[in-house]
């Protein structure tokens, strides 16, 4: 330990399901082999620097509650102290990854050159620490929503100077992500959206966003960044309407601007809930389109309607999320980031550890083979009839399938269930050996 913030807390150990300690793993054993792989390698847990160390406990009704020794966060000395405590926590938890924004790790000095200098300085300090412990960088990102300069967006801002500032900011964050060996770079469209269409040219702003993301991809190739570029959907908050609404919207956007081969998606459970989806819907859709990158495993309260960023504690939801991730081949460069914050009354240092330990323990769900075994059998059974009849892809199979389709259709007609119109794709009715009224064009 480099600081006494966590006092004499020892690294968290796996003690098994009978343990009564909130500072021990009861279910998460990183070395356990499940489906042929160590649990740690399946799950790839990451701690989020911002909620754990930069967030001060404020909400829309009140400010700081945590009173950490690295407050106020407006000078480089406290940024070093914060880094010491963060890496102490990483060694206590033993999780393999962390994630950060530029604004989490350096003080904000209000101008680009000074912010860049302190970002480079503090990430050099990270690099030294990472040589001595196993924690790696899952992804880096830029905070382009907190400072007042971003009030009207970053890449979609109507002021070209802000667009340029955003481009320089992302470049600097990609540079430090690469320096630290980051495995992904994430863009969450904080204020890329609008409050009212009466003052917003939606088409133009989407083109600006597409142009910006193309520049990000070009820069990735220019510097040879081996990681994946990810965008993160969210339907609203802070904007009334965010352009990256959900997974389907992001896929459409990426395809429109020819970015789908270079950019994948980071899916957050809380954002899925805000969009009116379940987490597993968003994951399954991304998997089916080959677009899953990584996940933020933090949930919302279903009654509040806010993005409450709570640690996961719902085993069935987590089990279903992982069912689709594993079925899709598991994470490649992605992982499980806890973009989750304590409740603002949880002011003890130990609470930070206990919250992460509890969240990691929810992944007991991976052990639930019923989800992987019976779930898959149910799914296959439901589509079996269709798969058996209409499996054909060559011309012969298609013709064979059509005859079956026609027989089926005639049967329905005979029973009076369907009308000719409903089955007549091209309006043609033909009498031959068999009645055929579906013709291939
Ligand atoms: Mn969130």
Q: What is the pLDDT of residues 191-240, one digit of tens each?
A: 999 999 999 999 999 999 999 999 999 999 999 999 999 999 999 999 99
Q: Distance from the CA of 132 to the center of ligand 1, in angstroms? A: 31
pLDDT at residue 413, rounded to an integer: 46
How much helix, strand and coil, in percent to the nearest 5, is found in the chain?
45, 15, 40
Q: Are residues 297 and 423 in the same domain?
A: no
pLDDT at residue 416, rounded to an integer: 39
How many domains does the chain fold into? 2
pLDDT at residue 363, rounded to an integer: 84
Q: Are residues 340 and 426 in the same domain?
A: no
CA proximity to 281, closest of 320, 251, 331: 320
User: Alpha-carbon distance 245 to 209, whole Å?
Assistant: 14
Q: Are 284 and 313 in contact (CB under 8 A)?
A: no
In a domain, 212, yes or no: yes
* Domain boundary, last residue among 311, 336, 368: 368
Q: Distance from the CA of 31 to the center of ligand 1, in angstroms? A: 30
Which residue stretches of the chain have pLDDT < 50? Answer: 412-441
Q: Are residues 343 and 401 in the same domain?
A: no
Q: Are residues 421 and 295 in the same domain?
A: no
pLDDT at residue 373, rounded to an integer: 66
pLDDT at residue 324, rounded to an integer: 92
Q: Are residues 249 and 282 in the same domain?
A: yes
CATH number of the domain encompassing residue 120: 3.20.20.150
Q: Distance from the CA of 298 to the center of ligand 1, in angstroms? A: 7
pLDDT at residue 380, rounded to an integer: 78
Q: Are residues 59 and 98 in the same domain?
A: yes
pLDDT at residue 397, rounded to an integer: 53
Q: Are residues 169 and 218 in the same domain?
A: yes
Q: Distance from the CA of 360 to the center of ligand 1, in angstroms? A: 18
- Residue 422 sits in which domain range? 390-437
Q: Are residues 283 and 424 in the same domain?
A: no
In a domain, 258, yes or no: yes
Query: Could you give the residue numbers annotated as active site?
Result: 101, 104
DSSP structure string for 358-412: HHHHGGGGGG-HHHHHHHHHHHHHHHHHHHHHS---SHHHHHHHHHHHHHHHHHH
Q: Are residues 114 and 181 in the same domain?
A: yes
Q: Distance from the CA of 314 to the center of ligand 1, in angstroms? A: 16
Q: Are residues 292 and 412 in the same domain?
A: no
Q: Are residues 76 and 218 in the same domain?
A: yes
pLDDT tens per residue, range 272-295: 999 999 999 999 999 999 999 999
In a domain, 162, yes or no: yes
What is residue 51's DSSP assignment?
I
Q: Distance from the CA of 33 to the center of ligand 1, in angstroms? A: 31
In a domain, 420, yes or no: yes
User: Alpha-carbon distance 253 to 290, whole Å?
Assistant: 15
Q: Are 98 and 138 in contact (CB under 8 A)?
A: yes
In a domain, 149, yes or no: yes
In a domain, 382, yes or no: no
Around Cβ 260, how many Cβ atoms within 10 Å? 17
In a domain, 332, yes or no: yes
């Amino acid at each position: 330990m480099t600081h006494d913030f966590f006092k004499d807390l020892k690294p968290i150990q796996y003690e098994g399901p009978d343990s009564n300690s909130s500072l021990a793993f009861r279910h998460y054993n990183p070395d356990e082999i499940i489906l042929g792989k160590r649990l740690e390698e399946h799950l790839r847990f990451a701690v989020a620097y911002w909620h754990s160390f930069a967030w001060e406990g404020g909400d829309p009704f009140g400010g700081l509650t945590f009173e950490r020794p690295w407050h106020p966060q407006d000078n480089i000395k406290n940024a070093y102290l914060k880094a010491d405590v963060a890496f102490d926590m990483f060694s206590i938890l033993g999780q393999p990854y962390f994630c950060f924004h530029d604004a989490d790790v350096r003080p904000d000095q209000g101008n680009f050159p000074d912010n860049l200098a302190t970002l480079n300085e503090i990430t050099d300090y990270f690099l030294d620490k990472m040589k001595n412990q196993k924690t790696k960088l899952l992804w880096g990102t830029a905070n382009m929503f907190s400072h007042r300069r971003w009030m009207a967006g970053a890449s979609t801002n109507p002021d070209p100077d802000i667009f340029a500032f955003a481009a320089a900011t992302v470049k600097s964050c990609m540079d430090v992500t690469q320096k630290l060996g980051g495995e992904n770079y994430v863009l969450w469209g904080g204020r890329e959206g609008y409050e009212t269409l009466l003052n917003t040219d939606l088409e133009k702003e989407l083109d600006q966003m597409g142009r910006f993301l193309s520049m990000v991809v070009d820069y990735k190739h220019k510097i040879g960044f081996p990681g994946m570029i990810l965008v993160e959907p969210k339907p609203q908050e802070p904007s009334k309407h965010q352009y990256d609404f959900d997974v389907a919207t992001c896929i459409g956007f990426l395809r429109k601007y020819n970015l789908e081969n270079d950019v994948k998606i980071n899916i957050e459970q809380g954002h899925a809930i805000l969009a009116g989806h379940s987490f597993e819907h968003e994951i399954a859709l991304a998997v089916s389109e080959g677009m899953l990158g990584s996940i933020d495993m933090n949930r919302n309260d279903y009654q509040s309607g806010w993005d409450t960023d709570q640690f996961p504690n719902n085993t069935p939801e987590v089990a279903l999320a992982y069912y689709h991730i594993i079925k899709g081949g598991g994470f490649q460069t992605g992982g499980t980031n806890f973009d989750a914050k304590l409740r603002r009354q949880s002011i003890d240092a130990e609470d930070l550890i206990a919250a992460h330990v509890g969240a990691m323990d929810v992944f007991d769900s991976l052990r639930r083979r019923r989800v992987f075994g019976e779930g898959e059998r149910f799914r296959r059974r439901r589509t079996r009839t269709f798969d058996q009849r209409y499996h054909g892809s060559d011309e012969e199979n298609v013709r064979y399938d059509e005859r079956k389709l026609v027989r089926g259709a005639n049967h329905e007609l005979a029973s009076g269930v369907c009308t000719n119109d409903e089955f007549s794709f091209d309006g043609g009715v033909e009498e031959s050996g068999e009645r055929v009224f579906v013709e291939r064009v």
